[in-house]
Amino acid sequence: MTLIDLAIALKVAPAKVEKVLKRRFGKLHTEDRLTEEQVAFAQRSLGRAAPRPATAPPPRAPAAHPEPAPAAPPRPSPAVTPRPPEPALPAAASPEPGPVEPAGLARHFERRYEGVRAELTTTREALAAAERERDALAQQVERLRTAALTPPPPDPSPPSPPRTPLSSILDRVGFDAARHGEVLAAALAHRPVARRLLPLLGVEDAEAVARILTEGVRRICVAAECREMAEADRVARVVARPAATCAYCAGSDNGRAYAAMSRACAAAKVRRVVVVGGGDDSRADLRRRALDWPAPEVVLVEGKRRPDSARARAKVQGADLVVLWGSTIVSHAETDVWKAAAEAAGTPVITVGSGQKGVASLARGITEWVGRYSRAE
């Protein structure tokens, strides 16, 4: 008996029978043969037992008769053999169940059809993807085989000649090793010779050469302060054209003075300077200059605020110098507060007066103090 046969016998939809059996026995197919246990379980679960076979009715008791009148004694008769009981008739077959509703069967088979069609579509897509992957791998294998069998093309460029150190060339033309730098400087300073020589020079490590030129050659303007700083740095000097390309002052008096101050503070180990006051434009210019030079650390304090002793003590803490910039900007009350805080911390205080304006005047005032401070030590 199949699942469909059982559904017809129980007069229920096949999907309902399949759901009941699936909970107990797992997934089934409508074409599978059901066991007796599965059939009995479905009958119990659905509450519809199969019709039982008909049994023979029990034998009736003999009817009671009135006692007969005494009769003459019977004549002797031959012995009668008792008749054996007749066998029971076989049980009647169970009646055929009625037909199942066509709508239920249609829905069942439609769901089955949709499921099979979805599985077929998925299988086809997976097969197509596998075929594409197979074709791609075959093409890759063919390319690798072709590349392995094809010899590499010959290098059309001729081999580069070995590089010769410039010092060996100078030795070959008769210049002593002690004068190599002088000879190169003279050759490169002469424009016709430099124009012919430079295209022939090649280097193996361009980064190293660029680093040497950056660290060893400086563009400087004609200002005496910039020349002095270049001589102190022991670098080669090239005239800056225009002056804005000067490595020290960038073509401005403020930049030149600040560069000298930064170098003086670094040499004297003046690491932190607190500047109180100054105009808005001058303070903005000083802040830009401080970004270009690592030393010293400049702490700017606006001088127009109300005097605050705690704030002054916190700012002066760890400073090497306190500068009061312009008596017209910093009030007397503010000046007294900062002087008291510096004196309590043991920090020197200098004043750049109102007659001196701009970053250049401030920087030169700090440079002069650093010079005196260094000589005093």
Query: Which long-range contacts (C-beta less than 8 Å, at least 24 apart) are formed by 278-285?
Result: 278/303, 278/325, 278/326, 278/329, 278/362, 279/326, 279/329, 279/357, 282/325, 282/357, 282/358, 282/359, 282/362, 285/254, 285/358, 285/359
Query: Do residues 306 and 261 share a domain?
Result: yes
Q: Is residue 277 part of a domain?
A: yes
Q: Is residue 162 in a domain?
A: no
Predicted confidence at residue 32, as pLDDT, reads 74
Q: Is residue 307 part of a domain?
A: yes
Q: In this predicted structure, what is the pLDDT of residue 121?
A: 92
**Do 264 and 218 have their domain in common?**
no
Q: Are residues 216 and 263 in the same domain?
A: no
Q: Is 147 left (phi over 0), alpha (psi -120 to 50) or beta?
A: alpha
Domain count, the chain: 3
Is residue 58 in a domain? Answer: no
| pLDDT value of position 125 | 93
Which has the closest alpha carbon to 48: 94, 90, 2?
Answer: 94
260 and 367 part of one domain? yes
pLDDT of residue 30: 67
Determine the structural domain holding residue 218 and report its residue range: 206-251
Does residue 150 lie in a domain region? Answer: no
Give residue 134's pLDDT: 94
Q: Which helix (H) or strand (E) holds 254?
A: helix 253-268
Are 54 and 92 a contacting pair, CB within 8 Å? Answer: yes
**Domain ends where: 194, 217, 251?**
251
242 and 258 fall within a common domain: no
Same-domain check for residues 257 and 309: yes
Look up the pTM and report it. Answer: 0.46
Q: Is residue 182 part of a domain?
A: no
302 domain residue, yes or no: yes
- Say yes or no: 235 and 329 in one domain: no
For residues 307 and 243, membership in a common domain is answered with no
Whether residues 15 and 33 fall in one domain:
yes
Mean pLDDT, 10 residues at a time, over the chain (377 residues)?
81 82 77 82 73 48 49 50 51 48 78 89 93 93 87 70 77 80 80 81 78 82 86 83 85 87 89 86 85 85 77 88 75 82 89 72 88 73
